[in-house]
Chains A and B, each alone.
Chain A
Amino acid sequence: EAEVAQSPRYKITEKSQAVAFWCDPISGHATLYWYRQILGQGPELLVQFQDESVVDDSQLPKDRFSAERLKGVDSTLKIQPAELGDSAMYLCASSATSVKDTQYFGPGTRLTVL
């Protein structure tokens, strides 16, 4: 069964360092999402791609976060510099065309900033 792949699964870093997360969506899925989930809360959309184009990044803290999906397949989310408040689970999801289609999630990357 096709799955969304994410790496790393866990990341511990010190504040002011740079971190990067990688996501490989289900093959053929045009839409890719990055979510941040703070402990005890629901996921919050950070950025949404349709192929290689950003559809929504209104909740992305652009002074320190960046995301790209250069070839419209896999994607990278970067934080530079990391802050203590960035500690959270970062989830990647993909769907076939748009949110009319079900989003399938990867295992997530749990980030701890010390």
Chain B
Amino acid sequence: AQKITQTQPGMFVQEKEAVTLDCTYDTSDQSYGLFWYKQPSSGEMIFLIYQGSYDEQNATEGRYSLNFQKARKSANLVISASQLGDSAMYFCAMSPNTGGFKTIFGAGTRLFVKA
């Protein structure tokens, strides 16, 4: 069965510092995509970054990077130079590239950025 685990219910980080949000996944598929989304208190889900299972390079998008370790089945999100506006819920998600392509989400990590 497919599963996403985010073990950190809440995280605190000082403004301007870097923070790592953990995500591990379980799948028997060989080809899949990994995503991170940000959900502010307003409720909308904002796409941050994507990593394909066959991508050799770790994905980066501005201040966001994904630390992908395929053998360990982990896809941690690193946010550099945290800003107050980064305070939000963060969700890790996985989509297999086979069958019905059903996406599953983790339970999320709430990030608090302190001034």
- Give me the interface of A with B, judged by CB distance under 8 Å: 33, 40-45, 48, 55-56, 89, 91, 93, 98-100, 102-108, 110
B64 interface residue per 8 A CB criterion: no
B55 interface residue per 8 A CB criterion: no
- Interface size of B by CB at 8 A reads 25
In contact, A108 and B103 (Cβ under 8 angstroms): no
In contact, A91 and B45 (Cβ under 8 angstroms): yes
- Give me the interface of B with A, judged by CB distance under 8 Å: 4, 33, 35, 37, 42-47, 50, 91, 93, 95-97, 100-108
* B97 interface neighbour in A45, A100, A102, A106, Cβ under 8 Å: A100
In contact, A108 and B108 (Cβ under 8 angstroms): no
A45–B96 CA distance with the chains assembled, in angstroms: 14
Q: Which residues of B contact A45 (CB under 8 A)?
A: 102-104
CB-CB nearest in chain B for A108: B43
If A100-B33, A106-B44, A107-B44 touch, whether A42 touches B91 (CB-CB below 8 Å) is yes
**Would you give the shortest CB distance from B102 to chain A, in whole angstroms?**
5
A91–B100 CA distance with the chains assembled, in angstroms: 19
**Would you give the shortest CB distance from B6 to chain A, in whole angstroms?**
8
Q: Which residues of B contact A107 (CB under 8 A)?
A: 42-44
A108–B101 CA distance with the chains assembled, in angstroms: 22
In contact, A56 and B102 (Cβ under 8 angstroms): yes
CB-CB nearest in chain A for B31: A100
